[in-house]
Amino acid sequence: MTLIHRNTRVWLLVGFCLAVASGAWAQISSINSAIIQPRIFNDFPGATGTYLNNYPSSLTIGESGAWRTNSGGLDRDLWSFSNNGSSAYTLGANDFFSVSMTLTLTGTTSADNEGGFFIGNANGSFPGGDLQFLADAQGGFLGMFGGTGFWNSGISYTVGTTVTLGMSYFYDAPNSSDAFQFWVNAGSGNVYSPIQDWAGNLAGDTFGGYYQIGNGGAAPGASGIATFGNLAFAVPEPSAMALFGLAFPALLWRLRRRA
């Protein structure tokens, strides 16, 4: 077999892999909307929910009168990115992305009252537990946990204030691993998490945001609202693929000269 024939096989394989990668980008790039999924947890069915979807400018989710005789329990509402306006987008293994939004929490601080980004499938099967990147009106926590690990931004969240949350899911080439990085801006510049490498991927998971509230302890119970604003979603530009495509004819010409 000549050198050109051998290398033609290699280039065909590389081209196939690039086409597959390009297809993955094309799929996640089709995201154009969001859906709201009320009461993933419904421990207070008598509470009144508020659900307003004006994607991408804002989504508003609230609960009022979250209370029952028994202590504990949660009402949790999800919203998920979608590419058809009717069902949650399901991530593939190589669906890399960057996303950011503003978040404002109002309401009670005497019970669990939190919201933020959410990655998982609503059933807790995401490796390490569903990933939540959140602000907590009760405890003041602003950071993430689950999935890839834990990060405390070091900023204390105050109910009623607006913060910006951002995260990127990408391939960390130096470490040959998928990875996350998170950032928070509470008005004094971005605060970044360390890069969090991990051995899994997001295939089969959905992503978007959540709001949840706990038991207020006594009637009329706990109430609160999460406002998610200025949602910005982007995928990596396949610039490396474009450069590779430009270089391919020259490489092929050199191989022919050597054959």
pLDDT tens digits along 75-84: 999 999 999 9
SS3 38: strand
Asked if residues 36 and 118 have their Cβ atoms less than 8 Å apart, the reply is: no
Q: What is the CATH number of the domain that holds 148?
A: 2.60.120
Pairwise CA distance, residues 62 & 222, whole Å? 11
- 23 with 40, same domain: the answer is no
**183-189 mean pLDDT:** 96
Within 13 Å and on the Cβ side, how many CA atoms surround 168? 12
Q: At a CB cut-off of 8 Å and minimum separation 6, what does 144 contact?
A: 116, 117, 131, 132, 133, 134, 150, 151, 167, 182, 193
Confidence of residue 2 (pLDDT cuts 50, 70, 90): low
- 242 with 230, same domain: the answer is no
Q: Is the pLDDT of residue 12 over 80?
A: no
- 52 with 151, same domain: the answer is yes
Confidence of residue 162 (pLDDT cuts 50, 70, 90): very high
Asked if residues 221 and 74 have their Cβ atoms less than 8 Å apart, the reply is: no
Pairwise CA distance, residues 215 & 222, whole Å? 6
- 253 with 198, same domain: the answer is no
- Strands annotated E in 186-234: 190-192, 196-198, 206-214, 222-234
Q: Is the pLDDT of residue 205 over 60?
A: yes
SS3 27: helix
- 81 with 146, same domain: the answer is yes
User: So what's the pLDDT on residue 245?
Assistant: 40
Q: Is the pLDDT of residue 14 over 80?
A: no
User: So what's the pLDDT on residue 148?
Assistant: 84
User: So what's the pLDDT on residue 114?
Assistant: 98
- 120 with 137, same domain: the answer is yes
Confidence of residue 26 (pLDDT cuts 50, 70, 90): low
- 81 with 206, same domain: the answer is yes
- 119 with 191, same domain: the answer is yes
Radius of gyration of the chain (CA): 22
Bridge-partner residues for 116, per DSSP?
134, 210
Pairwise CA distance, residues 63 & 51, whole Å? 9
Range of the domain at 215: 33-234
Asked if residues 34 and 80 have their Cβ atoms less than 8 Å apart, the reply is: yes
In whole angstroms, how far apart are CA 94 and each of 21, 22, 236? 8, 10, 11
pLDDT tens figures, 111-150: 999 999 999 875 545 666 789 999 999 999 999 998 888 9
- 158 with 110, same domain: the answer is yes
Pairwise CA distance, residues 81 & 126, whole Å? 17
φ, ψ of residue 96 in degrees (nearest 5):
-85, 150
Domain count, the chain: 2
- 120 with 182, same domain: the answer is yes
Own/partner pairs, 45-52, CB within 8 angstroms, 24+ separation: 47/75, 47/213, 47/221, 49/75, 49/77, 50/225, 51/77
